[in-house]
A and B are shown apart, each in its own frame.
Chain A
């Protein structure tokens, strides 16, 4: 840990522009790059499908999504100073796009912005496009959107909800990026120690940057509400004919405390997991052994290399695809039926 702190101090001395949010071209081995593409693909497909559905009713949807992608591109190219790290970094902008157009279309926006950045600015990359879409598009957008909608439902005003959404979208992106980077470069090393080092190495830039992005997102939402409330109504961010709500500072503080607590506890929990064996070993295996049933090799041993991780990812991707494919059947059609019954 002390060595990490020394490295951290050395990093602080490197006062250069930091574009650490995207994983650079070529940094992931082929297997991991393919896995992240597989994970990102269903989300992009769902986003395109959602956009096409919306576009049937309103022809301006595709141009709007394209222009929002250009805005996200420009925002994520703008350097903002991070005083504590002595560097410049950039916000990711997915928080605001998720708030305005929803998480799935925001994934498409992120994918387009990332593709242009990869091709023409060497920012991110083609081979790491899947991983960057997952971290910035999927995790950033979904986290930001959920926090914004959750806080609005709890009665928070636009500024507070926008601030929290911006912070969580940024930090969620950075957390996912750390995990992807660790998985890609760790080789035969264990996951958690390297993850915690990369996580700590990101902190000087990304911790204040998340707060700055939160402030920026809040500023944007408030400006839109003041100057063009019709936009927010059209995007279904606020219902028509209603004003802003009173702040729910306690709820925001609680949410942030839970999130920060989770971040701080993660390394300790992982260490605890190493120290304490699970219920399978301490209870099931013990009882089975007492009754003369020794443990034998499993038919399919998933404890080999990254196989278990890959299986989890595959299950997540399949589940995500299935949920997205039958989303309308699960949610929208039921809502329509309920509406018909009420009518």
Chain B
């Protein structure tokens, strides 16, 4: 978990760029990718984002791990659209007496959706790799996302790793005692593990609140303060989105 969410040291060239600029640029690209009709533009964005990630020093193995699920879903969408959508037959064969027909237009629609998935996932992955979570939350706060939501997200992020380590310890102890031998015992163990996590979360929340109140917590968390936006960064972002917009139109 720690390796997946904190994969690279924050020394790459994008680390110094204001998180608001990165987030807004990524959201603009996301809108362009989602509203594109063909597959060429999303795949171009995917290629650029992947190149950016490799340039930042993201290990390729990590990249494939993160892409495993979207690739699986994209493949499923292509199969569904190929077989159940469209009218123009591409191929047909008989399987156990059943006629299976693939459609050319269905395949094209499926590939378009799959390329949209690739483009969107790559953009979000690039932002995730390039920006620490706390910076992203501060940028979201600047975009007027409710403060209560941001505070809860920060609490969740802070204690995610603590609870994950606790969960691993409990899971290892259960496994060593054959807690996952058989479905019935496995379910009982899993329920116990999840219940233990809830108890730990509750106890931790009480302890954390006491500690924070003693340090002046009045119900609101201080967020990161932004420095003024740099004209160069904003101009770079506008230029990037404008170029991508032109590509999108083409």
A27–B128 contact, CB under 8 A?
Answer: no
- Our pick among B66, B79, B192 for the contact of A219 (Cβ within 8 Å) is B192
A45–B146 contact, CB under 8 A?
Answer: yes
Which residues of A have CB within 8 Å of B199? 223-224, 227-228, 231
B181 CB within 8 Å of chain A: no
Query: How far apart sit A223 and B191, CA to CA, in the bound complex (Å)?
Result: 8
A108 CB within 8 Å of chain B: yes
Which residues of A have CB within 8 Å of B219? 55-56, 59, 62
Instruction: Determine the residue in chain A with the shortest Cβ distance to B105.
Output: A187
B155–A67 contact, CB under 8 A?
Answer: yes
What residues of chain B have their CB less than 8 Å away from a CB belonging to chain A? 1, 4-5, 27, 30-31, 33-35, 42, 66-70, 72-74, 76-77, 79-81, 83-85, 95-96, 98-100, 109, 113, 116-121, 124-125, 127-128, 133, 136, 146, 148-149, 151-160, 163-164, 167, 183, 186-188, 190-192, 194-199, 201-202, 204-206, 208-209, 212-213, 217-219, 221
B194–A27 contact, CB under 8 A?
Answer: no
What residues of chain A have their CB less than 8 Å away from a CB belonging to chain B? 2-3, 6-7, 16-20, 24-30, 33, 44-45, 48, 51-52, 55-56, 59-60, 62-71, 73-75, 77-78, 80-81, 83, 93, 96, 100, 108-109, 111-113, 115-116, 118-123, 125-127, 185-187, 189, 193-194, 197-198, 201, 212, 215-224, 227-228, 231
A121–B66 contact, CB under 8 A?
Answer: yes
A26–B80 contact, CB under 8 A?
Answer: no
B117–A71 contact, CB under 8 A?
Answer: no
Instruction: Determine the residue in chain A with the shortest Cβ distance to B121.
Output: A25
Which residues of B have CB within 8 Å of A187? 85, 109
- Our pick among A45, A63, A78 for the contact of B208 (Cβ within 8 Å) is A63
If the complex has contacts A66-B152, A116-B160, A228-B202, are A216 and B119 also in contact, measured as CB distance less than 8 A? Answer: no
Query: How far apart sit A119 and B66, CA to CA, in the bound complex (Å)?
Result: 10
B80–A197 contact, CB under 8 A?
Answer: yes
Instruction: Determine the residue in chain B with the shortest Cβ distance to A187.
Output: B109
B124–A126 contact, CB under 8 A?
Answer: yes
A119–B69 contact, CB under 8 A?
Answer: no
Which residues of A have CB within 8 Å of B66? 121-122
- Our pick among B33, B119, B124 for the contact of A118 (Cβ within 8 Å) is B124
